[in-house]
């Protein structure tokens, strides 16, 4: 008789092949769904994924503790130099939203990039600041102090958010800059997207950045953000897809290129791709084959599952780039 154990919600037959991975919380909801669906169709393959943050996932991958990693901040040249030969595959696109908990203020608060940057630089400290009021005429903004929340861990969500701030704010670009971790001028940290969501939900006056799916799961209000066309855009699947399509051409030269602050009136400006980090020539060929087969499935039928969890499927041009990258795996 076979023995069953439980791994992130899966019933796993003893002796079945388990592929371990770790990293980003940003795509964790869609990855959990993908891993379950794929396991249902291929019971001999199970995924054990630790959503510990992009920085921690990359560290575990470089140490050889996990077989693959996931990150919204793809490895840079320095990271790649200290890791096994790696292919980085974009899997879906998602929106990073500014969730807030402001007494008396409902959903759809309007925020421009310069205002967001100055909130995170402690230059705007109360919710009825004239620059916030300027974009929200008719909204009764309180004098509540702004309680800033950011990520405490090394995070790809932080990379996307700070890449955006660096694109729209010269002060931010020359100060904290862009990265998985930065020196925050103000605020308290939360671990993972879930930790940021909890802090925002429980602290009146709070604002924090997190992936759209987590804001929706926690019933948090989130801002409409002003884009390059001067339009305040709600983060949705459609506006994130518009951002992915607008930025897709930039990935031909380097698929690590950020897609924040893209042109187009329907584009949500704080969007990014999330990546799987896969070894090019691993020792365990059976696991490698199983992982590649999963990735091929995720780039095909799996894409249809993305919108149900508020992620945007990849543009066809990016899927074509991925197909070529996967073909180079041994």
pLDDT tens-place string over residues 179-215: 999 999 999 999 999 999 999 999 999 999 999 999 9
- Rounded to 5 degrees, what are φ and ψ at 190? -125, 145
CB 110 within 8 A of CB 226: yes
CB of 244 closer than 8 Å to CB of 312: yes
Scored b (16 or more CB within 10 A) or e, 24-33 reads: bbbbbbbbbb
Q: How confident is residue 16, by pLDDT bands cut at 50, 70 and 90? A: confident
Helix 28-41 and helix 285-299: axis angle, to 10°? Answer: 110
Quote the tokens at residue 143: 């004098």
Least confident of 21-25, 34-38, 185-189, 277-281: 277-281
**Separation CA 313–CA 36 (nearest Å):** 18
pLDDT confidence band for 330 (50 / 70 / 90): low
Q: Taking residues 88-112, report their average pLDDT.
A: 97
| pLDDT at residue 12 tops 50 | no
Q: Are 98 and 220 in contact (CB under 8 A)?
A: no
Is residue 78 exposed (0-12), middle (13-18) or buried (19+ Cβ within 10 Å)?
exposed
pLDDT score of 249 more than 60: yes
For residue 250, pLDDT over 90 is answered with no
pLDDT computed for residue 34 by the predictor: 98
Q: How far apart are CA 244 and CA 248, in angstroms?
A: 6
Summarize the confidence of residues 249-264 as an average pLDDT. 93
> What number is the average pLDDT over the span 103-114?
96
Of 316, 314, 322, 134, residue with least CA distance to 241: 314
Q: What is the pTM of this model?
A: 0.91
Q: Report pLDDT for 45.
A: 96
Q: What average pLDDT does the segment 33-53 reach?
A: 96
Contact in structure between 321 and 251 (CB atoms under 8 Å): yes
Question: Judging by DSSP bridges, how do beta strands 206-211 and 147-151 pair with one another?
Answer: parallel
What mean pLDDT is reported for the chain?
93
For the chain, list the domains and their CATH numbers: 4-93+271-327 (3.40.190.10), 95-251 (3.40.190.10)
Q: Report the Cα–Cα distance between both ends of the chain, in Å, rounded.
A: 36
Burial class (CB in 10 A: 0-12, 13-18, 19+), 1: exposed
Query: Rounded CA gap, 323 and 214, in Å?
Result: 30
How much of the chain exceeds pLDDT 90, in percent? 89
């Amino acid at each position: 008789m076979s023995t069953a154990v439980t791994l992130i919600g899966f019933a796993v037959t003893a002796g079945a092949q388990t592929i371990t991975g770790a990293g980003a919380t940003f795509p964790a909801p869609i990855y959990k769904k993908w891993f379950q669906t794929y396991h249902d169709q291929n019971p001999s393959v199970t995924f054990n994924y630790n959503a510990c943050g992009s920085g921690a996932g990359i560290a575990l991958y470089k140490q050889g503790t996990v077989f693959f990693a996931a990150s919204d901040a793809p490895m840079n040249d320095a990271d790649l130099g200290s890791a096994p030969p790696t292919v980085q595959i974009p899997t879906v696109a998602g929106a990073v939203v500014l969730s807030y908990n402001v007494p008396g203020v409902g959903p759809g608060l309007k925020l421009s990039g310069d205002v967001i940057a100055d909130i995170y630089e402690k230059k705007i400290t109360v919710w009825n600041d004239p620059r916030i009021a300027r974009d929200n005429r008719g909204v009764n903004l309180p004098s509540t102090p702004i309680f800033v929340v950011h990520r405490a861990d090394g995070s790809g969500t932080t990379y996307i958010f700070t890449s955006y701030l660096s694109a729209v704010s010269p002060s931010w670009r020359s100060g904290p800059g862009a990265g998985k971790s930065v020196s925050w001028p103000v605020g308290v940290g939360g671990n993972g997207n879930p930790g940021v969501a909890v802090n925002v939900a429980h602290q009146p006056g709070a604002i924090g950045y997190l992936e759209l799916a987590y804001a929706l799961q926690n019933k948090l209000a989130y801002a409409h953000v002003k884009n390059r066309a001067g339009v305040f855009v709600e983060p949705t699947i459609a506006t994130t897809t518009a951002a992915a399509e607008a930025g897709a051409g930039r990935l031909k030269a380097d698929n690590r290129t950020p897609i924040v602050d893209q042109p187009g009136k329907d584009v949500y400006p704080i969007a990014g791709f999330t990546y799987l980090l896969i070894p090019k020539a691993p020792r365990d060929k059976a696991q490698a084959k199983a992982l590649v087969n999963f990735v091929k499935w995720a780039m095909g039928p799996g894409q249809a599952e993305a919108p149900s969890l508020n992620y945007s499927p990849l543009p066809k041009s990016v899927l074509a780039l991925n197909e070529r990258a996967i073909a180079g795996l041994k």
